[in-house]
């Protein structure tokens, strides 16, 4: 063995260990992003349904307030609440994450749009 190659195995091992740590951090980050996205989607769906029921008069109160309260119960914040003339509600919610950006969820609840024929998804 030549003296110029001494310690090369240690450097290679340290490099591989660092690469594995970075890969594991990436996988954990992607997992957190997926969980946060699912949480945001669920909060948006439930907030839109609560707002639509209130907008249609099935529940007393303000539709956007109902959406905000439902979003808060699911650890989300209501970003936007739009009451559409067709008695539907569109909501946008945000969920805080440990990542540098929040997860966002969009949902619409209410009767189907007029351009959808009966019996069609």
Report the side by side order of strands in the sheet with 77-83.
77-83, 89-95, 103-109
Phi, psi of 67, deg, nearest 5: -65, -40
- Whether residue 78 contacts residue 93, with contact meaning beta carbons closer than 8 Å, is answered with yes
- Whether residue 76 contacts residue 94, with contact meaning beta carbons closer than 8 Å, is answered with yes
Q: How confident is the model at residue 40 (pLDDT cuts 50, 70, 90)?
A: very high
The answer on pLDDT for 112 being more than 90 is no
The answer on pLDDT for 19 being more than 60 is yes
> What percentage of residues in the chain have a pLDDT greater than 70?
95
Work out the average pLDDT over 72-98: 94
Q: How confident is the model at residue 99 (pLDDT cuts 50, 70, 90)?
A: confident
What's the pTM value of the predicted model, to 2 decimals? 0.76
Q: What is the mean pLDDT of the chain?
A: 90
The pLDDT score that the predictor gives to residue 57 is 87
């Amino acid at each position: 063995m030549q003296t110029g190659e001494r310690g090369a195995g240690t450097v290679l091992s340290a490099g591989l260990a660092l690469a594995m740590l970075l890969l594991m951090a990436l996988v954990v980050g992607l997992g957190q992003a997926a969980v946060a996205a699912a949480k945001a989607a669920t909060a948006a769906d439930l907030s839109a349904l609560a707002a639509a029921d209130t907008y249609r008069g099935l529940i007393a109160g303000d539709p956007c307030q109902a959406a905000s309260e439902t979003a808060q119960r699911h650890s989300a914040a209501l970003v936007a609440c739009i009451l559409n003339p067709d008695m539907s509600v569109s909501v946008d919610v945000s969920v805080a994450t440990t990542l540098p950006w929040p997860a966002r969820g969009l949902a619409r609840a209410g009767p189907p749009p007029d351009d959808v024929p009966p019996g069609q998804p």
